[in-house]
Structure 1
Amino acid sequence: MTVRFAVTGLVASDLAASLAFYRRLGLVFPEGAEDQPHVEAALPGGLVLALDTEETIRSFLPGWQPPVGGGRVSLAFRCDSPAEVDARYEELVAVGHHGELKPWDAFWGQRYAVVHDPDGNEVALFAPLPVRGE
């Protein structure tokens, strides 16, 4: 038997806000997902991003409480270009999401920025920088 990584799950305190955030990054969730206790978006390579409401988690873990102290997980979205990193960052900050790190040309060769989703999870936006001479 082979074990494969297949799903990243996030707990959403406000599912509608989380869906709006991740839809702005291009993820596709079913229509009417805002009214569901558990929703999934297919990702490239066969992976899945699952969002559950806090109530859903408490339905099988009655004592569950959100972690204290900020972000719970870190995700990274690859953009098509450095300019798209800037545009997505500005778009998300403009609608009220916390910009943790403004876009910059990182020494490891990427345009890189970090925003927080509605639950404080870090979401990195990145794109490879052009190689000098290209």
Structure 2
Amino acid sequence: MSARTWLRVGLAFLAATQFAVGCWALLFPHSFFSIPWVGMNMPYNAHLMMDYGAMSLATSVVLGVSTFVVQPIMVRTALAVYLVFAVPHLVIHLRLMHHLTPGQRAPLLTALTAAVVIPLVLLALTRSLSSARSPD
């Protein structure tokens, strides 16, 4: 597969994930909060959960658009927006691991690390967009 195709697949995956998480947190905040690594034995806050859902939906828009408008500035902006959230999100959860059982830590760290590595790999692939102007 070409770099452009990998970018589209990766961006579509990130957009779909953000959309699904956003809908879940916005429409069913208590259900989303009930996930052990979301609630972390802290008091429930519906407002915060719905705000998080709305933010995730907004992020899915820029990622979704970049899936179709595969231009360097668009793709890099979308990935930067996502990483500005994903990197601190990983760091925050690393600091709050004490709220989780060892069995809950592994899937959380896997998912949050992937949420940083995937866009970083995609960002590296954007270099090929500048040098190859293949029409789609």
TM tier, shorter chain?
under 0.3
- TM-score, L = length of structure 2: 0.26
Q: Considering fraction of residues, name the structure with more helix.
A: 2
- Structure scoring higher RCO (CA < 8 A, sep ≥ 6) equals 2
